[in-house]
Amino acid sequence: MDILEIIDKKRLGKELTKEELTFFVNGFLDGKIKDYQMSALLMAITINGMTDQETTFLTDVMLNSGDILDTSMINGLVLDKHSTGGIGDKVTLVLCPLLASFGIKIAKMSGRGLGYTGGTIDKLESIPGFKVDLTEEEFFKQVNDIGIVISSPNKDLDKADKKIYALRDVTSTVSIIPLIASSIMSKKLACNADVILIDVKVGNGALMKNIEDAKALARLLCKLGRCHNKAVICLLSNMDQPLGYAIGNALEVKESIMTLQGNGPSDLLEIVVKLATMVIGPINKITEEEARDLVFKQLNNGLAYNKFKEFVEYQGGDLEKLSVSSKIISIKSDRSGYINQIDSQKLGSLANLLGAGKQTEEDTIDYEVGIVSSKKVGDYVNVNEELLRLYINEKTIDITELLSCFVIDNQLRETQPVIYGIIK
């Protein structure tokens, strides 16, 4: 096959075959196809899109570029969970031990922070001693022993996605739906769980900025799952403001612990309970209301939090040593009124400037720093009342930049729901 002919074919908006995509992806992995040639194809896809059939082909090629986990070694129903990324998104830290406390096996590989969004692995690493790099033997042993494991991705899984994503990140080809879908599902299918929960974030702090694109992505993710006989459930949730109050690694772990103890923020709790209910109900053949009651019972009786502690201890973490910075700055509102908008993306970027995330690959994350909001959209704030608390160490940020994240008006606008819907 001819490399340039394939690029030109997609440049003209034509559909690529599975053979052409296989040739291109495998050639890129082998080094026969250069970065600039793959970048040209990615940009042609970004401009002209892909059909669902092309996306299915690309997902299959990427999936088979590396190993696939043999989950037959796990006893029981295996569940995996994914989020498309957001600010303050700590759902995994609460939902996974909650479901594991019901006897569901959670076998999850998670990523690090990307851009302005946080990563589950970074958050877990804020717990002193927590081991994120596990061998395949350790991975399977842990999930069989205690029912839950969360680790860094196996380097031999989905090799194509790792190499292609590195290019997408620097060529402005991240936000195209077919590429997002093939990236997510090739990784999730490689982990080979029976059920895959996907939290599709929508809003200014998410990849999907509007509900129409989020629905299109969710439908495509579910379709790709069905092609591989996997049950995929997508929840569409609001990312027009940070989830919960805390942004930053150790701060988010602490807020997750509060939620597992039944005292967490209402928006975080709503998403966790909805996702858990959608799993617990069908498994136990009970109504949604009955499943919801069971979920709240598990949060309130301490079993969910006990499973979290067991999980952390098994991977070497010491919750007693979890710490946040003692240097705290209170940021006060410069006006009175209703909070009608919070710029999630900007707050996430500002938290990274404090050290909560990386600006360059060489940066070191400061797990103790971050931002905690005192208010949510729809709340009333008085002049000189606290809007935020900054947890800082060596770095700080401009207060005017922080205040600019909030739109405060005399009248309250209509607020949006936490959950927009479910797509299966």
Range from 111-115, 177-181, 281-285 carrying the lowest mean pLDDT: 111-115
Given this model, what pLDDT does residue 175 score?
82
Instruction: State mean pLDDT over 49-70.
Output: 95
Helices (H), 117-210: 120-125, 136-146, 159-168, 177-191
Q: Report if pTM > 0.95.
A: no
The residue ranking higher by pLDDT, 293 or 395, is 293
Instruction: State mean pLDDT over 242-253.
Output: 97
Given this model, what pLDDT does residue 358 score?
74
Tell me the DSSP string of 324-370: --SEEEEEEPSS-EEEEEE-HHHHHHHHIIIIIS-SSTT----TT-E
Where does the pLDDT of residue 115 fall: very low under 50, low under 70, confident under 90, or very high at 90 and above?
A: low
Strand order in the sheet with 327-332: 246-247, 370-373, 386-392, 327-332
Distance CA 322, CA 372 (A): 17
- Highest-pLDDT range among 148-157, 296-305, 394-403: 296-305
Polymer length of the chain: 424
Distance CA 310, CA 265 (A): 23
Distance CA 214, CA 211 (A): 5
Instruction: State mean pLDDT over 54-76.
Output: 93
Q: Work out the mean pLDDT of the chain and round it to a whole number.
A: 94
Sole residue written with tokens 């612990």? 257
Asked if pLDDT for residue 114 goes beyond 70, the answer is: no
Reported as a single tens digit per residue, the pLDDT across 5-56 is: 999 999 999 999 999 999 999 999 999 999 999 999 999 999 999 999 999 9
Given this model, what pLDDT does residue 359 score?
66
Handedness of CA 375, 377, 379, 381 (dihedral sign): positive
Asked if pLDDT for residue 117 goes beyond 80, the answer is: no
Range from 71-75, 77-81, 311-315, 323-327 carrying the lowest mean pLDDT: 71-75
Range from 50-59, 203-212, 357-366 carrying the lowest mean pLDDT: 357-366
Of the CA atoms within 13 Å of residue 404, those in its CB half-sphere come to 8
Where does the pLDDT of residue 396 fall: very low under 50, low under 70, confident under 90, or very high at 90 and above?
A: confident
Q: Which residues are annotated as catalytic? A: 82, 161, 168, 183, 187
Where does the pLDDT of residue 146 fall: very low under 50, low under 70, confident under 90, or very high at 90 and above?
A: very high
Given this model, what pLDDT does residue 111 score?
76
Sole residue written with tokens 């301490």? 302
Distance CA 147, CA 141 (A): 9
Distance CA 71, CA 135 (A): 15
Q: Is 192 left (phi over 0), alpha (psi -120 to 50) or beta?
A: left
Asked if pLDDT for residue 357 goes beyond 70, the answer is: yes
Instruction: State mean pLDDT over 372-389.
Output: 97
pLDDT > 70: what percent of the chain? Answer: 98
Asked if pLDDT for residue 62 goes beyond 90, the answer is: yes
Given this model, what pLDDT does residue 360 score?
66
Given this model, what pLDDT does residue 156 score?
84
Asked if pLDDT for residue 112 goes beyond 80, the answer is: no
Instruction: State mean pLDDT over 347-374.
Output: 88
Distance CA 234, CA 225 (A): 11
Range from 29-43, 170-184, 243-257, 303-317 carrying the lowest mean pLDDT: 170-184
Given this model, what pLDDT does residue 260 score?
97
Tell me the DSSP string of 28-70: HHHTSS-HHHHHHHHHHHHHH---HHHHHHHHHHHHTTSB---
**What stretch of H or E contains 406?**
strand 406-409
| Per-residue tokens: 209 | 């900025």
Structural domains of the chain, with CATH: 3-49 (1.20.970.10), 71-320 (3.40.1030.10), 323-409 (3.90.1170.30)
